[in-house]
Amino acid sequence: MSENKEFAELHAEGKVYKLPIIRGSEDEKAIDIGKLRDESGFITLDSGYKNTGATKSAITFLDGEEGILRYRGYPIEQLAEHSTFLEVAFLLIYGYLPKKEELSKFTDEIRTHTMVNEDMRKIFDGFPVNAHPMGVLSALVTSLSAFYPKAVGMDIKDREYLDLTIIRIIAKLPTIATWSYKNSQGHPLNYPKNSLDYCSNFLHMMFSLPVENYEVNPVVAKALDKLLILHADHEQNCSASTVRLVGSSHAGLYSSIAAGIDALWGPLHGGANQEVIEMLQEIHAEGGNVKSFVEKAKDKNSGFRLMGFGHRVYKNFDPRAKIIKKAADDVLKSLNVKDPLLDIAMELEHAALNDQYFVDRKLYPNVDFYSGIIYKALGIPINMFTVMFALGRLPGWIAQWLEMRQNGEPIGRPRQVYVGEKVRDYVPVEKR
Which chain residues interact with ligand MLT by CB under 6 A?
Answer: 234, 237, 312-313
Q: Considering the complex, state which of residue 172 and residue 234 has its C-beta at the smaller distance from ligand MLT.
A: 234
Q: Following DSSP, what letter does each residue of 49-109 receive, concatenated?
A: GTT------SSEEEETTTTEEEETTEEHHHHHHH--HHHHHHHHHHSSPPPHHHHHHHHHH
The DSSP code sequence of 304-370 is ---TTB--SS-SS--HHHHHHHHHHHHHHHHHT---HHHHHHHHHHHHHHH-HHHHHTT--B-HHHH
Residue whose C-alpha is closest to residue 169's, from 61, 65, 89, 72: 89
Residue 263 or 283: which CB sits closer to ligand MLT? 263
Beta-bridge mates of residue 20 = 7
**Residue 318 annotated as catalytic:** no
Tell me how far apart the alpha carbons of residues 278 and 141 are, in angstroms, rounded to a whole number: 27
Q: Nearest distance from residue 93's CB to ligand MLT, in Å? A: 17
311 has catalytic annotation? yes
The catalytic residue among 197, 231, 311, 318 is: 311
Q: Which is nearer to ligand MLT, 197 or 225 (CB)?
A: 225
Residue 84 or 236 having the CB closest to ligand MLT: 236
For residue 2, the cross-strand partners are: 23
Q: Which CB sits closer to ligand MLT, 206 or 238?
A: 238
Q: Give least dist CB 272 to ligand MLT, A.
A: 8
**Which residue from 318, 229, 330, 311 is spatially nearest to 269, judged by alpha carbons?**
311
Comparing CA positions, the residue from 323, 110, 334 lying closest to residue 227 is: 323
Q: How far is the CB of 295 from ligand MLT (least distance, A)?
A: 27
* Residue closest to 69 by CA, chosen among 237, 307, 245, 306: 237
Q: How far is the CB of 237 from ligand MLT (least distance, A)?
A: 3
**CB half-sphere exposure, 415, CA atoms < 13 A:** 13
Instruction: Give min distance, CB of 234 to ligand MLT, in A.
Output: 3
Distance of CA 308 to the CA centre of its chain: 15
Q: What is the smallest separation between the CB atom of 238 and ligand MLT, expressed in angstroms? A: 6
For ligand MLT, give the closer residue by CB, 107 or 237. 237
Residues belonging to the active site:
311, 368
